[in-house]
Structure 1
Amino acid sequence: MSRETDLIDTFYRAFQRRDAAAMAACYAGDAHFHDPAFDLYGADIGAMWRMLCERGKDLRVEFANVRADGDKGSADWQAWYSFSASGRPVHNIIHAEFRFRDGLISEHLDNFDFWRWSRQALGAPGMLLGWSPFLQKKVRAQAAAGLAAFKQRG
């Protein structure tokens, strides 16, 4: 295994333990994270993982297909959890792309089917509007507000 595949493995094993501090330590200080709900830089990435790990009382994570070649890498991962806003069960299937710099993650892009996720997490509104930019924008705004509130409480 390369240093980069070891880093991805370390990251997801920390996620399985809900160890947000160990996850955050895998990122460069000026890293960028993006998925359909969040677009974050720097310390906000660690705060997001801390929030998700703390809220995810029933969170289960599995990962596979870890690959890295030079400054790029990828992995497939799945998460099972109860969505905090609705209590509804979610099984999310994600493909992650990474870029590395100086032995740390500098960019992390998580890609998943937002409509599939919204049907599970939100029920009827997700079924009807999960494909729409309106609902996607609303979820992003709620995610940003939730993270800001989480950071305020320390």
Structure 2
Amino acid sequence: MTTNTSVAHERLLYRLFDTFNSYDVEAFAACYAEDAVMHDVAIGKTFTGRAEIAEFLRVWLAASPDSHIEIGEPIVAGDRASVTWTGTGTLTGDFAHIPGAIHGSTVNQRAVSVMRFDAHGLITEHFDYYDMFGLLRQMGIIPAE
């Protein structure tokens, strides 16, 4: 059974990824509660609060300004949701979170995000899981073979 809350959470997920794809850092950050926590599990980094989450996206987009995400169908249950996605882009700048990437390398990375929402429908906790080894190979940090 779909509830109004589930529909609202699903819409927010679509808005989150739409704002990423339109490079609207402030609108992206506005999808999160003021005290939200975003965990990038693969790189072992946590970003706390809207300002840090916005800065994470600024750093990423500076390194890969053609980044794009295609999402799968979200699964929403109560105050939690998960969604698979594929991120693509070309690294043309330095990515501070993963030093040593080769400029010009292309990324095509599958991942899953797991999120929790507050009573206002904003994201309070966000976990991203992806294949770090594969990403490092695509970035030229680890030899392909």
Q: Tell me the TM-score normalized by structure 1.
A: 0.75
Partner of 1:152: none
Moved over 3 A (4+): none
Partner of 1:33: 38
Partner of 2:96: none
Partner of 1:98: 115
Asked whether the 8 Å contact 1:20–1:53 carries over to 2, the reply is no
Shift, 1:74, TM fit: 1.0
Task: Output the amino acid matched with 2:135.
Answer: W
RMSD (Å) for aligned C-alpha atoms: 1.7
Partner of 1:78: 86
Asked whether the 8 Å contact 1:118–1:127 carries over to 2, the reply is no
Q: Note the residue ranges of structure 2 that are not aligned, 5 or more in a row.
A: 1-5, 94-100
CA distance in 1, matches of 2:63, 2:72: 24
Partner of 1:134: none
Q: Note the residue ranges of structure 1 that are not aligned, 5 or more in a row.
A: 129-154
CA 1:103–1:64 in structure 2 vs 1: closer, same or farther (change >3 Å)? same
Q: Secondary structure of the equivalent of 2:139?
A: helix
Partner of 1:65: 73
Shift, 1:44, TM fit: 0.6
CA distance in 1, matches of 2:126, 2:143: 26
Task: Output the amino acid matched with 1:113.
Answer: D
Residues 1:9 and 2:17 are matched in the alignment: no
Asked whether the 8 Å contact 1:79–1:92 carries over to 2, the reply is yes
CA distance in 1, matches of 2:31, 2:115: 11
Task: Output the amino acid matched with 1:12.
Answer: F
Shift, 1:126, TM fit: 5.5
Residues 1:111 and 2:111 are matched in the alignment: no
CA distance in 1, matches of 2:71, 2:36: 22
Work out the percentage of aligned pairs sharing the same amino acid: 28
Asked whether the 8 Å contact 1:60–1:81 carries over to 2, the reply is yes
Q: Tell me the TM-score normalized by structure 2.
A: 0.80
